[in-house]
Copies of this chain bind each other. A is one copy, B any other.
Amino acid sequence: MLKKEELPDCPVATTVQLIGNKWKLLILRNLLSRPWRFNELRRSLDGISQKVLTESLRSMENDGIIIRTVYAEVSPRVEYSLSELGETLRPILDAMQAWGQEYKESFE
């Protein structure tokens, strides 16, 4: 979790510090629709390793953006979902989604 003293002056820099990273953004894109399980995320993110996925999830959990829920079942089941704070990131991802859409269409 970030402390107040560690926050940059610039608001954009603050946001970048928390989610300005390839995999985090792609994980968040997935979590916007529903909770995802670990291996489900792993399979959907082409090229990510277990190590990097784990680290990214831990980091965002520590920052209070996502929530990790362990279901005590026979074979362990862990779900990752957006926290209330994480939900407020939706407009950013929406803007990125819209831009990418437009950009791709400009090629057709």
Contact = CB atoms under 8 A, between A and B. Distances in A.
Interface residues of A, number: 35
Given A12-B25, A20-B20, A99 B93 contact: no
30 contacts: A7-B104, A7-B107, A10-B26, A10-B29, A10-B100, A11-B96, A12-B26, A12-B29, A12-B93, A12-B96, A12-B97, A13-B29, A15-B96, A15-B99, A15-B100, A15-B103, A16-B22, A16-B25, A16-B26, A18-B103, A20-B20, A20-B22, A21-B22, A88-B99, A88-B102, A91-B95, A92-B95, A92-B96, A92-B99, A94-B95
A89 B99 contact: yes
